[in-house]
Amino acid sequence: MFTGIVTDLGAVRSIEQRGDTRFTFDTGYDTATIALGASISCNGCCLTVVERGEGRFAVDASAETLSKTTLGGWREGTPVNFERALALGEELGGHLVSGHVDATAEVISVLQEGDSWRFRIGVGPEIAPYIASKGSVALDGVSLTVNEVEDGEHGEATFGVNVIPHTYAVTTFGRLRGGDRVNLEIDLFARYVARLLASRALGG
């Protein structure tokens, strides 16, 4: 589990095609403290550390992961948000995030408002029912609060999130522009509520 609070902004060092795809990242983490087999959120996608060295660590991603997330478009130098797995007793600064990406979403627009930035995000009809005003989402692994939601004519939706200067500076959000895609994970509680309501509607 994670909290959606990014603790390092790294980058893809190299990409190697094997049976799966191996990504090696540059990182500011003290990699001596990262165990092989540890989970790290990489732009919101929970991946397992399979190799590490000074200032770097590597993970393997399956073809399924590449097709369902933005990882398939990564290149050498692509910036990546990192968060190490939550340990018992640590502060829960954002919201509970599993690291299982539900879909990719499109950045519709980026507008500076005062010292912060307002991002408008577009999602398809399979995700739209789970997005609620004042609810939580994780975008590229960053915990954010939904400000407002606008429903489209065909079940799709756009929603707004506000990114403060600190988050804009220390995450990939400072590099995002309209048309870019991000990994989205819906709030765990929204998922369970929707499942419960669907079950009741079917008489379960």
* Structural domains of the chain, with CATH: 8-84 (2.40.30.20), 103-201 (2.40.30.20)
pLDDT at 187: 87
Segments of the chain with pLDDT less than 50:
none
Measured CA to CA, the distance from residue 69 to residue 119 in angstroms comes to 19
pLDDT at 8: 98
pLDDT at 87: 72
The predicted model scores a pTM of 0.91
Residues facing 23 on adjacent strands: 15, 59
pLDDT at 186: 93
Measured CA to CA, the distance from residue 134 to residue 173 in angstroms comes to 20
pLDDT at 145: 95
Measured CA to CA, the distance from residue 163 to residue 169 in angstroms comes to 10
Measured CA to CA, the distance from residue 79 to residue 11 in angstroms comes to 4
Query: Could you tell me how many residues make up the chain?
Result: 204
